[in-house]
Structure 1
Amino acid sequence: MAAGLAPSPFGAIDWATPWLDPWRGAGEPLARKVLQGGCAVHAVLQVATSEGGPVGFAPPQDLPDGIAYEQFIFDTGRVPTRDNLHDFFNGLVWQQFPQTKQRLNQLQAQAIAADGVQAVRGPLRDALTVFDENGALLSAPPALWAALRARDWRRLFVDLRPLWREARLVLFGHALLEKLVFPRKPITAHVYQAQAAIDSVASLDAWLAQSLQPERLVTKPFVPLPVLGIPGWWPGNENFSFYDDSLVFRSAPRKSNHTMGSAVL
């Protein structure tokens, strides 16, 4: 490394972490090419993209001023990609979950066509963005799901700890993957329930693309999960006091007792 140059963040990716297990095979060689070859991220992704894939990858300056990012992808089939971890992981998700990413982009474009680009996203675009950036898929026994929805963290991670051997969490959001390059206890995924066992990324992709329907997405069907609390994902959680941090493992919101009903505060 030349004197005075900061180390590349691509060198900080620890592909041995459990959350990167589904991504290691495809992602590690690409990150190595970026790190060792000084190649632009969009070029590395483009070379690795299979023929017939839903999108290609382009330098960021190809996105014209005044055109929404999602609309440009929908219109051209090209993803503007910067030389950073955020866009690298986005490209990796496009490669591993092509059907789902295409479905998310289609729904974004439809919402833009209907409502235009506004200062505040509507409920559908907001839900799409939340999942695209920070989503994860969890297949788990019903007891774990009940404890997660109740945000009963002690039951979820301590009392039911053996049940996590029957669960599988696959991270989807590219911002989530980026943040976990430098792990911190508060990092939280927005979890979507996988209705079937997660046998492979390809089967998960096919199911998820069909599952993401606008009428369901607008209900925000996601549950917050601090991912470093998962047994086996972080050494610190072997000491159960890890879960006593109320700033991270927060209680479920209380429900209003007003006569207007039981809206969540």
Structure 2
Amino acid sequence: MQVHDAARPGFADIDWTAPWFAQFAGRGQRWQQAALTSYAVLLAEMNADAGEMRQTTGRGQRLAFIAQDDLPPGAAYEAHIAATGCVPTRHNLHDFFNGSMWFAFPRIKAALNARQSAAIDVLGVGPTRGGVRDTLTLFDENALLFACADPALSAALRGFDWRTLLVARRDAWGASCEVRCFGHALLEKLIAPFKACTGHVWIVDVPSDYFRWDAVARDAWLDESVSAALLNTDALTSRIFAPLPVLGIPGWWAENESPAFYDDISVFRAGRRAGQRL
């Protein structure tokens, strides 16, 4: 059945109190009001912030946002951003959240763009992206950043040990581990959250002092660390990621206060065979 546009979530449906949106609320609420006014006003607001921040894309070009129709015919999206600094942007939630990430984690976005455009240089734009570009796209669209100072918690995540990670060690969240949303398609889905909504986790080992820093310092550390890893990791494959159902994150959804929430094996799955590498 085709869904009428009016029934789809839009800019007015963003709940900035939700934990996955709250981290971007400062700029996001201002952009939201611009988006509700018009496409042109949204682009102007985004470009005003880009001009103030002086952010660059994957090849050192100054960041700017342009209307999707201004992307030249036949131009590859990532290659155009790298060559010109201009990010084609539609008047929709998907591109709204994509733009937000250029400000929340600018180095990560630039690193993704640098590697995507380098892969296009080598392989061109064909019917398939290739393994590295697929992995970079998966990160860009659906990643969660799992900052963790306790190897046992990272091992529980990799091993699909949901009871340890989300129930028995629940008190560790905020003290030894935490999550930041990055994927803009994932954020779009979380406009209307559902239990099976799952992110692809990039695990980031952090120092124990990390959890004594404020949010700005934490985000800056993640931005630098993850961007360096993206630029310097040769073997980028989807096996790097671990799945995590977003509504299972402690403190992020009221229903998960009950341990029974995690009994749903269609969502909190047993995972891969024992000993199989992620």
Structure 1 counterpart of 2:59: none
Shift of 1:219: 6.3
Amino acid across the alignment from 1:233:
W
1:73 counterpart (76, 81, 86): 81
Cα distance between partner residues in 2 of 1:176 and 1:74: 24
Name the CA shift for 1:168/1:263 in 2 (closer, same or farther; >3 Å): closer
Kept in 1: contact 2:35–2:91 (CA 8 A): no
Cα distance between partner residues in 2 of 1:45 and 1:187: 28
Kept in 1: contact 2:145–2:180 (CA 8 A): yes
Q: How does 1:1-265 map to 2 (within 5 A)?
A: 6=6, 9-35=10-36, 37-40=37-40, 41-51=42-52, 52-54=54-56, 55-140=63-148, 141-166=150-175, 167-196=177-206, 197=210, 199-212=217-230, 213-218=232-237, 220-254=239-273
**CA offsets 1:172-230 (integer angstroms, 9 cap, x no match):** 11111111111111111111112223733223212221111241423642111001101
Shift of 1:33: 2.1
Count the aligned residue pairs: 255
Cα distance between partner residues in 1 of 2:252 and 2:271: 23
CA RMSD of aligned residues (A): 2.2
Amino acid across the alignment from 1:225:
L
Amino acid across the alignment from 2:108:
T
Cα distance between partner residues in 2 of 1:50 and 1:208: 24
Q: Out of 135-144 and 83-92, give the one that drifted further.
A: 135-144
Cα distance between partner residues in 2 of 1:240 and 1:137: 24
**CA offsets 1:39-79 (integer angstroms, 9 cap, x no match):** 44333311222342211000001112222111111111100
Shift of 1:100: 1.3
Cα distance between partner residues in 2 of 1:195 and 1:146: 12
**CA offsets 1:97-156 (integer angstroms, 9 cap, x no match):** 221111111100110111112222211101100100011111122222111111011222
**CA offsets 1:208-263 (integer angstroms, 9 cap, x no match):** 211112414236421110011011100111122211111111111226xxxxxx87
Name the CA shift for 1:216/1:28 in 2 (closer, same or farther; >3 Å): farther
Kept in 1: contact 2:144–2:179 (CA 8 A): yes
Does the residue aligned with 2:173 lie in a helix, a strand or coil?
helix
Shift of 1:6: 3.5
Cα distance between partner residues in 1 of 2:152 and 2:22: 25
Shift of 1:86: 0.3
Structure 2 counterpart of 1:258: none
Unaligned runs of 5+ in 2: 57-62, 212-216
Kept in 2: contact 1:43–1:58 (CA 8 A): no
Identity percentage of aligned residues? 45
Unaligned runs of 5+ in 1: 256-261
Cα distance between partner residues in 1 of 2:238 and 2:96: 30
Cα distance between partner residues in 1 of 2:248 and 2:117: 36
Structure 1 length as normaliser, TM-score?
A: 0.89
Cα distance between partner residues in 1 of 2:152 and 2:6: 47
Cα distance between partner residues in 2 of 1:203 and 1:157: 25
